[in-house]
């Protein structure tokens, strides 16, 4: 490990020094690309300089930088973004200066897309991006939905991502547990991003500008998760005019207002459940009396007379779910999120970007027993983080990224045993992380992202000081590239879940206790990406993930002195393929993965519940005239493992995190099972269809869609009831619809 660290340090020094000798008589083109109708940033578009046959892509904030351009010349800059009219600009580059551009693109109609869609190979095709998927709001809209459009449920359409049932939007990535994924909203962690016991997410899709999802091998600026990172960037709000949106479905109603303020913009959105009858379809006609809401706002300020080039942002996300049964013999449940953030984003006079943030994120999960005999439980998490990220772009096109954060986390878990003794098994600690990464991008056919993340002070659990990362991209031809990545990842917080629970109602989030090691994994990823034609792309990736340690619930606890958590190990490996074919008016996407996953606890190795060998997702979108659109999706996966039930026996009951019993019982009937997860459920497949229509009237715009879920009513098994052995199926054939109005 020491030798590896020395190699990283030497390479950083050499690469940085190499930039000092670069030619000086050149200039830089920098700017931002926006939507002309609302001035929202357009991320991941193309900016191309015709005379140089070179260019760059915009980042997730719409910014781009093209350094080292021969100066004192005029150039034709071509800016393109799918769904927008391509723009041509004449620009003169001054020596030793940065030429700034603000480029506004106008949306095009579906018919115009065939004309406006022009392909340019930009020089940042060599940027390492293995395991990364970018999603836009338009892509989310055409993915068939359970009830409403939802980013978390949409992830299951990607290769390497699995969901264990129609009921839950919780996801597993490349053989990792669902608690090993990090969800960030504008850099702020959201600890429980789900509504209605996990059916869909708390983040309103209408506020999303873009999504970056890292399935593995992600760079050093992302940490605190050992499987995946979901990075959601929200809109700023319409800077041109005031507007309002309202929409309704069979589950909820929501509204949004946005508009300009002096030197800035804002948005406010709110959503409230209006009926839970539709949820019975997800739960085999069982009652789910859940009442929920979420609300979010964002205010931006950017004045040329006050720190020019700097944007200040204040935002918040609030959500709450209440599950209240009319039967006093059933307990009630409550979940809530409170996320607040203040950010400063600065663009300097030299090619650098600064991102500073303060955020407070809290989560509360509670069981209210009433007369059920179940003991009360309360879980609270408070996270206050200060972070700074710095990015510098050299004239050679290389990039240097530096960042540091200080995180104060307190987790509380209040439990009551059968003697009414209260205990708080939570922890509180302060941790700090720093990262350093260098992107070697000076050659058009090769890119290297070399970095490391440093744990300056650990949070509670023991862990390694450094997490080295490296990713690589080599272009054999402009249309064929080879990619690879390696990284070590650690995680300090975890959600305690019981694998035996089909539907979990209490998932406490805690800091991993000091008697266990911090969760740790290593990723090895290789891949090939090719553009067969201008409209056809194929990405193939293979991976191996080794989980050295992760906390697991002690399912066989037989005394109060035994720990509730044990160390587990795991490994997973597989191959993934994703094909995209865009041929106006059709868009086709095919995702397939072949994978295996294993988990080991107390020396026993088994396949976890989410292990599925074959996963296939086929989607087709047909853009019709007069703003009609038809989207269809067919999903298949082989059966998940399950443990067969053999019989019953009586056992003394001991309180732990997730197992409750009646206060008057000393012996409880316990099911006797065979070898854990030795059997497999039948295969799963389902066909969904969406028909959508846009109406643009004089005073209002309307979006109407009708979704048919499980069109041929496939009887996909969910589980067998332990008490009766009855088969419980997943979602049957279901018709849902939404109406959206925009003023």
**Residue 400 and residue 16 in contact, taking contact as beta carbons nearer than 8 Å:** yes
Q: Closest Cα to residue 618, out of 591, 587, 581, 583?
A: 591
Residue 215 confidence (pLDDT): 94
3-state class of 21 per DSSP? helix
Class of domain 231-742: mainly beta
Domain boundaries along the sequence of the chain: 2-120, 132-230, 231-742
What span, in angstroms and rounded, lies between the C-alpha atoms of 412 and 427?
6
Question: What dihedral angle (degrees, nearest 10) is formed by the CA atoms of 693, 694, 697, 699?
Answer: 130
Q: What is the DSSP track for 308-328? A: TTEEEEEEEEEEEEEE--SST
- pLDDT value, residue 113: 38
Q: Is 329 helix (H, G, I), strand (E, B) or coil?
A: coil
DSSP for 250-263, written as a single string: SSEEEEEEEEEETT
Q: Which residue has the tokens 């003697």?
A: 419
Backbone phi and psi for residue 512, each to the nearest 5 degrees, phi listed first? -60, 125
Cα–Cα distance measured from residue 447 to residue 440, given in angstroms and rounded to the nearest whole number: 6
Q: What is the pLDDT of residues 692-710, one digit of tens each?
A: 898 888 778 888 888 899 9
Per-residue pLDDT tens over the stretch 401-449: 999 999 999 988 887 655 555 666 677 788 899 999 999 998 888 999 9
Q: Classify 176 as helix, strand or coil.
A: coil
Contact 58, 33 (CB under 8 A): yes
Is 139 strand, coil or helix? helix
What SS3 string covers 697-729?
Answer: CCCCEEEEEEEEECCCCCCCEEEECCCCCCEEE
Paired with 520 in beta bridges are 490, 549
In contact, 676 and 606? CB cutoff 8 Å: yes
Residue with tokens 């609270």: 380
Confirm whether 2-120 and 231-742 share one CATH topology.
Answer: no
**Nearest-angstrom CA–CA distance, 522 and 216:** 10
Question: Phi/psi at 596 (nearest 5 deg)?
Answer: -140, 145
Alpha-carbon distance of 139 to 44, in angstroms, equals 14
Q: What share of the chain is helix, strand, coil (3-state, %, to 5)?
A: 10, 55, 35
With the C-alpha atoms ordered 56, 61, 62, 66, is the resulting torsion angle positive or negative? Answer: negative
What pLDDT shows up at residue 210?
Answer: 92
- Residues of the chain with pLDDT below 50 are 1, 3-5, 7-8, 10-23, 110-118, 655, 657, 661-665
Q: Tell whether domain 2-120 is in CATH 2.60.40.1120.
A: yes
Res 21: pLDDT: 44
Cα–Cα distance, 564 to 655 (Å, whole number): 10
Phi-psi region of 603 (alpha: psi -120 to 50; beta: other; left: phi over 0): left
pLDDT at 375: 81
Cα first-last separation, the chain: 59
Gap between the Cα atoms of 415 and 115, Å rounded: 64
pLDDT at 664 (0 to 100): 42
Other beta carbons less than 10 A from residue 705's beta carbon: 22
Class of the CATH-defined domain 132-230:
mainly beta
What pairs with residue 580 in β-bridges?
A: 537, 589
pLDDT score at 343:
96
The tally of CA atoms less than 13 A away on the side-chain side of residue 540 is: 7
């Amino acid at each position: 490990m020491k030798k590896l660290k020395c190699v990283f340090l030497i390479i950083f020094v050499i690469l940085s020094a190499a930039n000092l000798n670069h030619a000086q008589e050149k200039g830089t083109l920098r700017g931002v690309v926006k939507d002309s109708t609302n001035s929202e940033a357009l991320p991941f578009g193309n900016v191309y300089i015709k005379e140089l046959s070179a260019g760059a892509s915009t980042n997730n904030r719409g910014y781009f930088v093209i350094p080292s351009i021969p100066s004192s010349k005029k150039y034709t800059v071509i800016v393109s973004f799918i769904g927008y009219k391509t723009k041509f600009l004449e620009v003169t580059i001054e020596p030793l200066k940065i030429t700034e551009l603000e480029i506004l693109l106008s949306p095009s109609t579906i018919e115009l897309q065939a004309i406006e869609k022009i392909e340019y190979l930009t020089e940042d095709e060599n940027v390492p991006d293995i395991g990364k998927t970018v999603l836009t709001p338009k892509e989310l809209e055409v993915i068939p939905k359970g009830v409403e459009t939802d980013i978390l449920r949409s992830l299951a359409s990607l290769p390497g991502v699995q969901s264990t049932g129609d009921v839950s939007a919780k996801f597993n990535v490349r053989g990792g547990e669902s608690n090993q994924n990090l969800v960030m909203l504008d850099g702020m962690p959201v600890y429980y991003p789900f509504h209605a016991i996990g059916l869909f997410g708390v983040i309103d899709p209408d506020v999303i500008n873009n999504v970056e999802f890292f399935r593995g091998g992600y760079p050093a600026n992302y940490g605190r998760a050992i499987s995946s990172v979901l990075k959601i960037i929200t809109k700023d709000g319409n800077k041109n005019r005031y507007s309002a949106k309202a929409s309704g479905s069979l589950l909820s109603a929501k509204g949004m207002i946005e508009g300009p303020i002096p030197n800035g913009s804002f948005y406010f959105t709110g959503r409230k459940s209006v009926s839970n009858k539709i949820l019975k379809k997800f739960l085999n006609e069982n009652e789910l009396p859940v009442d929920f809401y979420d609300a979010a706002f964002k205010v931006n300020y950017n004045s040329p007379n006050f720190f020019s080039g700097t944007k200040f942002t204040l935002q918040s996300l609030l959500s709450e779910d209440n599950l209240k049964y009319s039967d006093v013999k059933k307990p009630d449940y409550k979940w809530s999120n409170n996320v607040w953030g203040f950010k400063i984003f600065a663009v300097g006079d030299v090619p650098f970007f600064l991102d500073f943030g303060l955020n407070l994120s809290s989560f509360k999960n509670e069981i209210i027993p009433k007369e059920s005999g179940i003991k009360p439980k309360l879980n609270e998490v408070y996270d206050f983080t200060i972070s700074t990220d710095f990015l510098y772009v050299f004239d050679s096109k290389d990039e240097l990224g530096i960042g540091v954060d200080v995180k104060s986390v307190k987790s509380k878990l209040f439990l009551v045993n059968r003697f009414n003794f209260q205990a708080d098994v939570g922890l509180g600690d302060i941790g700090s992380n720093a990262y350093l990464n260098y992107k070697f991008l000076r050659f058009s056919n090769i890119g290297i992202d070399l970095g490391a993340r440093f744990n300056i002070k650990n949070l509670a659990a023991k862990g390694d000081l450094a997490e080295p990362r490296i990713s690589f991209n080599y272009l054999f031809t402009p249309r064929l590239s080879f990619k690879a990545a390696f990284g070590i990842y650690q995680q300090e917080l975890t959600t305690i879940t019981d694998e035996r629970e089909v539907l979990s109602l209490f998932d406490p989030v805690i800091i991993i206790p000091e008697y266990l090691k911090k969760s740790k994994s290593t990723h090895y990823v290789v891949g090939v990406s090719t553009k067969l034609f201008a409209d056809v792309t194929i990405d193939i990736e293979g991976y191996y993930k080794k989980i050295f340690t992760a906390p697991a619930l002690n399912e066989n606890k037989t005394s109060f002195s035994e720990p509730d958590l044990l160390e587990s190990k795991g490994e997973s490996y597989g191959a993934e393929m994703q094909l995209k074919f865009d041929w106006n008016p059709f868009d086709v996407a095919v995702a397939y993965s072949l994978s295996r996953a294993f988990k080991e606890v107390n020396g026993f190795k088994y396949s976890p519940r989410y292990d599925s060998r074959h996963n296939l997702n086929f989607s087709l979108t047909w853009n019709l005239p007069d703003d009609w659109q038809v989207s269809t999706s067919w999903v298949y996966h082989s059966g998940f493992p399950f443990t067969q039930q053999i019989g019953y026996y009586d056992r003394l009951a001991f309180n732990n995190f997730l197992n409750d019993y009646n206060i008057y019982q000393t012996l409880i009937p316990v099911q006797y099972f065979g070898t854990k997860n030795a059997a497999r459920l039948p295969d799963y497949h389902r066909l969904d269809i969406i028909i959508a229509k846009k109406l643009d009237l004089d005073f209002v715009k309307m979006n109407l869609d009708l979704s048919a879920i499980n069109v041929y009513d496939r009887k996909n098994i969910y589980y067998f009831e332990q008490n009766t052995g009855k088969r419980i199926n997943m979602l049957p054939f279901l018709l849902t619809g939404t109406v959206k109005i925009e003023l």
